[in-house]
Amino acid sequence: MKRDTPNILLVNPWIHDFAAYDFWAKPLGLLALASILGNHGYNVTYIDCLDRFHPGGPQTNPYARDGRGPYLKTRIPKPRGLEDVPRNFSRYGIRKKWFREDLRSTSRPDLVLVTSLMTYWYPGVQETISVIREIFPDVPIVLGGIYASLCHDHAANHSGADRVETGPGEENILELAGDFTGFSMPTKFDPDDLGTYPYPAFELQRKIAYVPLLTSRGCPFACKYCASYFLNPKRMVRSPESVVEEIRYWHEKYSVKDFVFYDDALLVDAENHAVPMLKEIISAKFKVRFHTPNAVHIREISRQTARLMFQAGFKTLRLGLETVAFENREAIDQKVTAAEFKRAVACLKDAGFNKNLIGAYLLTGLPGQKIKSIEDSIKTVKQNGITPILAHYTPIPHTVLWKRSVASSRYNLESDPIFTNNAIFPCHHETFSWKTISYLKNLVKK
């Protein structure tokens, strides 16, 4: 017989990769679902395999580097097919023994929900699920998130989960939990109104080093390398008031000082969204910092948005430049022209941003991309007096560039998502040797 209040365990899985670092990366989606479940009467527990503050690990200051920091790592064998990559491979996150102990000390769940992020991190998801199975052999496990959405069939066949869900979870989570537990409760929020969602349950973490904010969903652009339109086809926007209330909540109740925008298109339709929101933030006079590691659209940077972002306290600003091959731009996106880039940088500088606060992402490793075009991009960004940041291209299923990527790769990308890891420049042959990569990295540093 089912108890009145079922237990649901939510798990953020390990990362298996050549490198990983917490650049303000939190499972916002999973914690949003945890919050909905908690607000609808479920007992919710959370285990974060990427917890940087686990009592077993080194005790570090969560607020150093504005909340960012390294994960613990354990060297593991390289995956099949990548044995020749001249780099170490690791499991990032808490020790396996701690995970087992944490699972054993959790009351037996009725259902386990696991999230996933990068497609090529799926071996970390598999290993996480296998340990959960070992401790709770009869408890159903449901997998969702980005890998589950982008590689549904692969996840259904290889993750070890009992069920694999795709797409945003808010609308269906109560029904799904009800199916597995027999528990039901009327929905207390409107799935079509982001402002009515409860705040993600960041308080389930051991420490809140920073808080990711999602002020909108989806993106009106359809860049050929990006899966945003597949993952979030519906554009939804929150009211400025509800965003300011959330900032106030985390800042006042949990002394959070660093806030990170996860929006795909933060500045799009600025007049109706970012401008009123930034004005509200400024008038609230919070002593906090804002960061946009997920780039903002350059075309939307005006004198006004630049000034408002500076006044609001933006400290890390990343621009989605991607390339300076402006004349061939339609091959990848329609985002920006040379003149627009120049103008945007000028607006940001006039507003008070200095070189170290602004970085322009440059996609590196696109199919057919010439080294010369990356060199040119690095030089142009430097000439404009801001910092170039190489963003290694990962081919993503369901994007326009996927087919070209498959055709140009030295790996069989369709056979296994492991080959889409951007650390190995999957879309290139000899042109992208490790020597070339260090040459480009040095060019950035010079």
CB 246 within 8 A of CB 262: no
Q: Smallest distance, Å, CB 193 to ligand B12? A: 14
Q: Smallest distance, Å, CB 146 to ligand B12? A: 5
> Where are the alpha helices (H) located in 258-302, listed in sequence order?
274-284
What is the DSSP secondary-structure string of 296-346? EPGGG--HHHHHHHHHHTEEEEEEEEE-S-GGGGGGT-----HHHHHHHHH
CB 412 within 8 A of CB 419: yes
- Between CA 42 and CA 36 the distance in angstroms is 9
Strand segments, DSSP code E, in 349-403 are 358-364, 387-392
Q: Which residue is nearest to ligand B12 (CB)?
A: 29
CB 298 within 8 A of CB 341: yes
Smaller CB separation from ligand B12, 177 or 301: 177
Smaller CB separation from ligand B12, 97 or 445: 445
Task: Work out the end-to-end distance of the chain between its first and last CA atoms, rounded to an integer number of angstroms.
Answer: 67
Smaller CB separation from ligand B12, 380 or 421: 421
Report residue 251 as tokens.
């800042």
99 membership: H or E segment, kind and range: helix 96-104
CB-based contacts of 173, cutoff 8 Å, min separation 6: 33, 36, 37
User: Which stretches of the chain bind ligand B12, using CB under 6 A?
Assistant: 20, 23-30, 32-33, 113, 115, 117-120, 142-146, 149-150, 165, 168-170, 214, 226-228, 231-232, 262, 264, 293-294, 391-392, 394, 396, 420, 422
CB 330 within 8 A of CB 318: no
Smaller CB separation from ligand B12, 383 or 412: 412
The angle formed by the CA atoms of residues 90, 201 and 27, to the nearest 5 degrees, is 30
Smaller CB separation from ligand B12, 284 or 371: 371
Q: Smallest distance, Å, CB 295 to ligand B12? A: 8
Report residue 34 as tokens.
């945890």
Smaller CB separation from ligand B12, 226 or 332: 226
Q: Smallest distance, Å, CB 235 to ligand B12? A: 11
Smaller CB separation from ligand B12, 158 or 342: 158
Report the b/e string of 173-201 with b at 16+ CB within 10 A.
bbebbeebbebeeebebebeebbebbbbb
Report residue 284 as tokens.
């609230």
DSSP 69: B
Smaller CB separation from ligand B12, 190 or 252: 190
CB 207 within 8 A of CB 53: yes
Smaller CB separation from ligand B12, 146 or 312: 146
Smaller CB separation from ligand B12, 213 or 345: 213
Q: Smallest distance, Å, CB 238 to ligand B12? A: 12
Q: Smallest distance, Å, CB 70 to ligand B12? A: 12
Report residue 431 as tokens.
């042109």
Smaller CB separation from ligand B12, 124 or 144: 144
CB 422 within 8 A of CB 365: yes
Strand segments, DSSP code E, in 137-199 are 141-143, 163-164
Q: Smallest distance, Å, CB 221 to ligand B12? A: 11
* Of 278, 186, 194, nearest in space to 232 by CA: 194
293 membership: H or E segment, kind and range: strand 289-296
